[in-house]
Amino acid sequence: MKNLTKLKSLFTAVFLLLGTSLMAQTISGTVSGEDGPLPGATIIVKGTNNGTTSDFDGNFSIDASSSDVLVISFVGFVSQEVSVGDNDQLTVSLVSDNELEEIVVTGYGSQREKEVTSAVTKITAEEFNKGPISNAAGLLEGKVAGLSIYSKGGNPNAGSTIRVRGISTLGGNVSPLFVIDGVPGASIDNIDPRDIETINVLKDGSAAAIYGSRGSSGVIIVTTKKGEAGKIKLSYSGEYSVAEKMNAIQMLTAQEFRDFNGADLGASNNWVDQVTRQGITQNNSIAASGGFDKTSFRVSVNTRDVEGVVKATGFQQFNTRASIQTKAFNDKLSLSLNSSYTRRKSDLGNSQVLEFANVFNPTAPVYFKDAPQTIQNYFTEEQITRSGGYFQTLGLFRSFNPVAIQEQGIYAQDRNEFAYNIALDYALTDNLKIFATAAKNRSSAENRTSRSVYDYNTQANLGDRAGRVDYGDYENESANYEIYGTLNSSLGSGVDMVVTAGYSYNEADFFQKTINVGDFPDEAIDYSYSIGSSEDLLNAGLLGLGSYKAPTNKTIAGFGRVNLVIDNAIYVNASVRREGSNKLGSENRWGVFPGGGIGVDLNKYVGTAFEKFKVRVGYGVTGALPSGSGLSQLVYNFSNSDQATTQARAANPDLKWEEKAETNFGVEFRNGPLDLTIDYYSRDITDFIFDTEIDAAVFGFNRRFENVGDIKSTGIEFTGSYDVNDIWTPTLTLSTNKSELETYTTKDGITTGNLGSPGQNATNMVLVKEGYQIGTIWGPVYDGVDTATGKPKFKDLNGDGQIIAGQDKALDPQGDFQELGQGYPEIELGFNNTINVGKFQINAFFQGAFGHSLVNTWRAFFEPRIGSQFAYNFVNTKYADDDLKAAAFSSLYVEKADYIKLANLTVAYDLDLPINGISSTVVSLNVRNAFVITNYTGADPTPSIVDGGYDAGGGSLSGSGNILAPGIDRRNNYFDSRTFTLGLNINF
């Protein structure tokens, strides 16, 4: 009800504004559109509040003087200005604005661009990044100010990490909501980038509010291409790419290693070369679209065969999409069906291959048989047999022959994704429309890891156990049902209104099954297809079986929105959403989240005549939820060895919605060749939900989910472009974001982001504490080396005369710790250049990030000249110090990672073939990651905004991870790759 009161006062203000007007001569006239008279059009005497609306036949009369100018406007048509002059009888024809004005999808409907009151960026197909993009999110990399998309390294199977305006919560969902053809929550991965028509990014809270909690981290609305009635059109596009590794970690060569007195095993190998290759990618798409009468369709097929630069990684994907639209009942009913199916077979590869390729002794041979006899003598026949003939330095910690682990395992994933939706809308009257959609999305993945009986790594070949097979079956299913209506009406006096109201129901299910067994007889077959031959079946302790089903995750919401256009220059929108989730405490499941905004076309009020000069302000509140289940519930684990349950989490019946309130202020300007948009936002997250330590004596267990603090974020986003003589169009996007933990009930804070094994466990590198930015890298400050002991010296930061740098003092005022850098960049930059010369189109896109640091974990582990490291290999950057002989995390390993790179360079040429039936033929040459300029000594200076942990354990690199520990460049991060692509696009 509170919101209704707000609405009322809004109306009052609007009517007051209109007021009454002066009288003069009476002018009468008729307003019509292409299809006849327009009832309800607004006629206003320019510069006054004097106005009227046309009647049912389009007729109007208004008092005006001969020097007045009338402004005639109607929703969906371009406004027109007419000088009164001597005429007392006017005939005005308005032109529909569909073709003339950009339409922006804003959630449950669309608006003309100028009516938008929030920060929404629209990107069309022409603006997308080019080249071999294996993930549709890559289309937008660097294109939208405030949208951070990073795919660290060149692993084709790793997804992108996507953030809208930085981190939006500590424990909740930080990824934006994708809405594909009206279906919220659909996966961006199963779209062929060529099927996409436009992408709208809703950045601020007032825009996202209508989508509720799932949109609390921003909303990305994807609209796919649709067919048009008429002749059937065919198009083909194909790409052939070659990828090569870019920057490698700086290690010693075999000869340098020998000269350095490293343990010489008699051979010379560049292990990185051994495990990498030139990766070939082929990509083919065919689409057909067309239609007849009132029905149109589009179907497309895409195949993609991608090789990673690391051998035995890549995927093959088959993707289809079909859409059909039709109209019935005098065009009152529109019906559409969209469906897509994707199948991707991936080779994920062993995630530790690159770590071992870098640190495995460069003088070791690939095979035992190639080792000098003196070295072979140390091994027994059995050891050599057990290693499958691959040379292994048995007895070194975390050191395995990279070629062996690459070749002795299968790391396969087979993913299927099927999505469809049916949408209909029906016009009850000219002004009242009802929309309904039903959508389902089902994805399943089977992970199959099979390690050879000769695999010497980890748990695969343990003692008397030979080989191991791991299965994982994962099923995600979600359903979404929505119904809403929109009412267009003119309230008279130059006020047009659109009311939207609706209901949304969403449920999501997750189910997984895992099996792992080992100990197989020999190397005869791939035992992942014959797990019954496992000897582990005789030993319960070695057998791993698991299944888990998440509770059905339900979100139910009702929503309403009012859009007003006043005076054809003031745009107001107000929305409210009441949403419930079954994750929260029983008394706190429902929340009410308002949003609103106002935009003003200043041209009209300051007397300028720019093409666009608009200011807008928006405010919106959304709820946010973590992704886990049973957050508020008391949970017990069952131990089958004890046949008993034990508590695993304490209940929190008071758990309530985390709320995000965001205020956005924007200015849009366009005149001639110049186009500028600037946004400033301020965001307050209150009561964020986090897994928190509690009194173990009282709750019986020391952790549960609680609402524990507030976060404040601010940022500025700038987009500017300038069209130089229709030849060169540079576009610059810049954004800043700063997020600070304002309050946190754990006053002394926590640290997270463990550096890890060997030797640097219990070493957390990131601070989470009240008063500090999210992503603060935290540690002692390096102060040279104590040459007597080889130990690093640290600075006495608090000046108390003693140096305390032990990790258990990291949060203690006694400890000498300080901020060493920030994981998040301060400024992100995109600089796009489009050059059209004749039949050539050249596109050069630079991307950069500044102000972020990375912990170079390669150096932290392998650069000190530790005695034992002489059996591995050393990192050898400009920071290497031969006197430093002990490893301990400090500022020495935190590097500024500012960079700028030519991310994308495309030259396209229109062959303009004089062949009948072919409308265009374009060939293109593209280079991704042409060069990068940075001082960072690791392989890739891209910000690491989510942490995958210190050891992915030989399995896949998953996209999920610790969002609180940005800024850590891990040993399993894949090299970045440079890709050259030849493309051909034919439209028939």
Distance CA 375, CA 364 (A): 10
Residue among 713 and 890 whose Cβ is closer to another protein? 890
Distance CA 880, CA 230 (A): 68
Around 769, how many Cα atoms within 13 Å sit in the side-chain half-sphere?
A: 18
Residue among 412 and 542 whose Cβ is closer to another protein? 542
To the nearest whole angstrom, how small is the minimum distance from the Cβ of residue 787 to another protein? 13
To the nearest whole angstrom, how small is the minimum distance from the Cβ of residue 808 to another protein? 4
- Here the tokens at position 307 are 């090789």
To the nearest whole angstrom, how small is the minimum distance from the Cβ of residue 948 to another protein? 20
Residue among 12 and 383 whose Cβ is closer to another protein? 383
Distance CA 3, CA 369 (A): 79
Is the distance from CB of 631 to CB of 688 less than 8 angstroms? no
Residue among 32 and 431 whose Cβ is closer to another protein? 431
- Here the tokens at position 456 are 């010497």
To the nearest whole angstrom, how small is the minimum distance from the Cβ of residue 852 to another protein? 24
To the nearest whole angstrom, how small is the minimum distance from the Cβ of residue 2 to another protein? 13
Residue among 66 and 255 whose Cβ is closer to another protein? 255
How buried is 330 (Cβ within 10 angstroms: 0-12 exposed, 13-18 middle, 19+ buried)?
exposed
Around 166, how many Cα atoms within 13 Å sit in the side-chain half-sphere?
A: 32
Residue among 505 and 879 whose Cβ is closer to another protein? 505
Distance CA 289, CA 299 (A): 6
Instruction: Give residue 627's identity as a one-letter amino acid code.
Output: S
To the nearest whole angstrom, how small is the minimum distance from the Cβ of residue 812 to another protein? 5
Q: What is the DSSP letter of 729?
A: E
Around 327, how many Cα atoms within 13 Å sit in the side-chain half-sphere?
A: 11
Residue among 592 and 923 whose Cβ is closer to another protein? 592
Nearest to 866 by CA among 963, 785, 791, 784: 791
Residue among 555 and 731 whose Cβ is closer to another protein? 555
How buried is 457 (Cβ within 10 angstroms: 0-12 exposed, 13-18 middle, 19+ buried)?
buried
Residue among 301 and 499 whose Cβ is closer to another protein? 499
To the nearest whole angstrom, how small is the minimum distance from the Cβ of residue 580 to another protein? 5
Residue among 38 and 167 whose Cβ is closer to another protein? 38
Residue among 238 and 558 whose Cβ is closer to another protein? 558
Q: 155 to each of 443, 601, 940, how far by Cα in Å?
A: 22, 46, 12
Residue among 499 and 835 whose Cβ is closer to another protein? 499
Distance CA 395, CA 398 (A): 9
To the nearest whole angstrom, how small is the minimum distance from the Cβ of residue 409 to another protein? 16
To the nearest whole angstrom, how small is the minimum distance from the Cβ of residue 949 to another protein? 16
DSSP alpha helix (H) spans, 372-434 = 373-376, 381-386, 402-407
To the nearest whole angstrom, how small is the minimum distance from the Cβ of residue 397 to another protein? 5
Nearest to 138 by CA among 235, 242, 220: 220
Distance CA 950, CA 761 (A): 10
Residue among 318 and 870 whose Cβ is closer to another protein? 870
Residue among 85 and 771 whose Cβ is closer to another protein? 771
DSSP string of 732-784?
EEEEE-EEEEEEESSTT-EEEEEEETTTEEEEEEEEE-TTSBTTEEEEPPEEE
Instruction: Give residue 947's identity as a one-letter amino acid code.
Output: D
Residue among 222 and 811 whose Cβ is closer to another protein? 811
Instruction: Give residue 229's identity as a one-letter amino acid code.
Output: A
Is the distance from CB of 169 to CB of 216 less than 8 angstroms? yes
DSSP string of 315-355?
EEEEEEEEEEEEEETTTTEEEEEEEEEEEEEEE---TTHHH
> What percentage of the chain's residues is helix, strand, coil (to nearest 5)?
10, 50, 40
To the nearest whole angstrom, how small is the minimum distance from the Cβ of residue 794 to another protein? 11
Distance CA 813, CA 605 (A): 57
In the block, residue with structure tokens 């990673």: 308
Residue among 136 and 404 whose Cβ is closer to another protein? 404
| Phi, then psi, of 139 in degrees rounded to 5 | -60, -30
- Here the tokens at position 47 are 């510069």
Is the distance from CB of 296 to CB of 228 less than 8 angstroms? yes
* CA triple 721-165-135, angle to 5 deg: 80
Distance CA 706, CA 28 (A): 66
H, E, C per residue of 430-485: CCEEEEEEEEEEEEEEEEEEEECCCCCCCCCCCCCCCCEEEEEEEEEEEEEEEEEE
Q: What is the DSSP letter of 48?
A: S
In the block, residue with structure tokens 């640091």: 853
- Here the tokens at position 437 are 């959609």
Residue among 141 and 579 whose Cβ is closer to another protein? 579
Is the distance from CB of 225 to CB of 195 less than 8 angstroms? yes
To the nearest whole angstrom, how small is the minimum distance from the Cβ of residue 500 to another protein? 8
Residue among 98 and 757 whose Cβ is closer to another protein? 757
